[in-house]
Amino acid sequence: MAEIGLRGSAVRDPGHREEQRRRILAAAAEVFARKGYEAATMEDIAAQMGVSKGVLYYQFRSKQELVVETRRATSGAAVERLGEIVRRPGSARERIEAALRDLAAAAFDPLAKHVILLPVLHGLDKQHLDEVRSIERRYERLLETLLREGVAEGGLVVDDVKLAAFTLIRACFGPAVWYRPDGPLTRDQIIDRLVVQLLRSLTVEVS
């Protein structure tokens, strides 16, 4: 059976449609990061792609639907990666280090940047805001689970797991605000140093 698009017509080339969808999400993420959600328009996103608004509306009904999809693509993928890390064998500390590295790398991902720079989406209705927050909360709960394992193993000191998880997330996202490609440190150097510093803040010192 042929796939049906939003306008009710058959999709002749699903592969092309999916590629176009990825391009729309990338363009939208760039515009949302630069202008903010409320100021951004569908016209801005179409201009970023160099296409007409009709191309966007062929795949997305509204700006709200589009921003939810950009965040689902980025935050949803992050949840899947963290879930895989949580399920790995090995110590909690090793898995927390892997989780922090993955999280810090997101600060350099153009598609993820709008999620980092726009932590609260003013202008979304409750339904769409709840969809966004449900994805983010899944990530937070997974990280909290990992931190609790580290405390139980005796390798970490965490007084408030929720506060620690939120602090780690925001710290890892910091480079998205200030990093410059022509700066003194490379992307990998920043990730390495940031992860080491954050692990030190959580680790029990053995005398």
Domain ranges of the chain: 62-202
What value does the mean pLDDT of the chain take?
Answer: 87
Q: Distance (Å, rounded) from C-alpha 179 to C-alpha 37?
A: 22
**What would the two tokens of residue 127 be?**
């339904």
Q: Measured between alpha carbons, how far is 1 from 45 in angstroms, rounded to an integer?
A: 32
Q: Mean per-residue pLDDT for 15-43?
A: 89
Evaluate whether the domain defined by 62-202 bears CATH number 1.10.357.10. yes
Name the phi and psi angles at 124, rounded to 5: -80, 145
pTM, entire model = 0.80
Q: pLDDT tens-digit profile of 140-196?
A: 999 999 999 999 998 888 999 999 999 999 999 999 889 988 999 999 999 999 999
- pLDDT above 80: residue 118: no
Contacts of 159 (CB under 8 A, 6+ apart): none
Q: Strand pairing partners for 4?
A: 10
